[in-house]
A and B are shown apart, each in its own frame.
Chain A
Amino acid sequence: DVQMVESGGGLVPPGGSLRLSCEASGFIFGSHWMHWVRQVPGQGLVWVSRISSDGNITTYADSVKGRFTISRDNAKNTLNLQMNNLRDDDSGLYYCVKPVHQYDSRSLGDWGRGTLVAVSS
């Protein structure tokens, strides 16, 4: 079965850094684009970033450009999100998401359970 397990969330002060990871299994990780999506508990979904299957192409939401870096290690089936200069509005549950189909760069299919990030002083 497809599974994504996120980790690395926690409480961090404004301006701090955090590195999220996602361990994927049950599918050919190296053949899929991957995404991060954020949700403030009780609120809606916000797309954060995506990365191509080979890691060469990355895209970010305007709100995180220049502060977040998405990366992947296909040998370890792992997706990462380095989050720097964190702000209060970066808080939320961060989901690792696999597209619906292989080589599909624009859809969101299977979701992990998320890891919670809280930015607060």
Chain B
Amino acid sequence: QSVLTQPPSASGTPGQRATISCSGTSSNIGSHYVYWYQQLPGTAPKLLIFRDHQRPSGVSARFSASKSGTSASLAISGLRSEDEADYYCAAWDDSLSGVGFGGGTKLTVL
């Protein structure tokens, strides 16, 4: 049972836009920043988005994110085959006194 709720899968064709949702509560997303990670097969997670919508240097502008209330979303525009990966959302959770994660969304580029 994950702290945050994500759809298990998402898909799109090359060039399309895909979105991944992340739902939480007032103890996590509702009161703390949201972070997004990309995990390519066989590798460690990589930070994609920090503080709700900010991109680290080196992350493509095709990745964007937003937050409203207790929900957040990640958007990937101009889908490419190399975007196929697992995507995780995360936020500090006051009830846990720790970082809560979503269960992960497997993105398939058809």
The reply to whether B101 and A110 contact each other, CB–CB distance below 8 Å, is: no
Q: Are B47 and A45 in contact (CB under 8 A)?
A: no
- Give chain A residues whose Cβ lies under 8 Å from the Cβ of B101: 44-47
- Let me know if B100 and A113 touch, CB within 8 A: no
How distant is B21 from chain A, measured CB to nearest CB, in Å?
Answer: 16
- How many A residues, CB 8 Å from partner? 22
Docked complex Cα distance between A46 and B104 (Å) = 11
Chain B interface residues (CB < 8 Å from chain A):
2, 32-33, 35, 37, 43-47, 50-51, 56, 88, 90, 92, 96-104
B102 to chain A, nearest CB (A): 8
Partner of A107, one of B33, B46, B88: B33
In the assembled complex, how far is the CB of residue A110 from the closest CB belonging to chain B, in whole angstroms? 7
Which residue in chain A gives the minimum CB-CB distance to B44? A111
Q: Check if A76 is an interface residue, CB within 8 A of chain B.
A: no
- Contact residues in A for B104 (Cβ distance below 8 Å): 44-45
Q: Is A32 an interface residue (CB 8 A)?
A: no
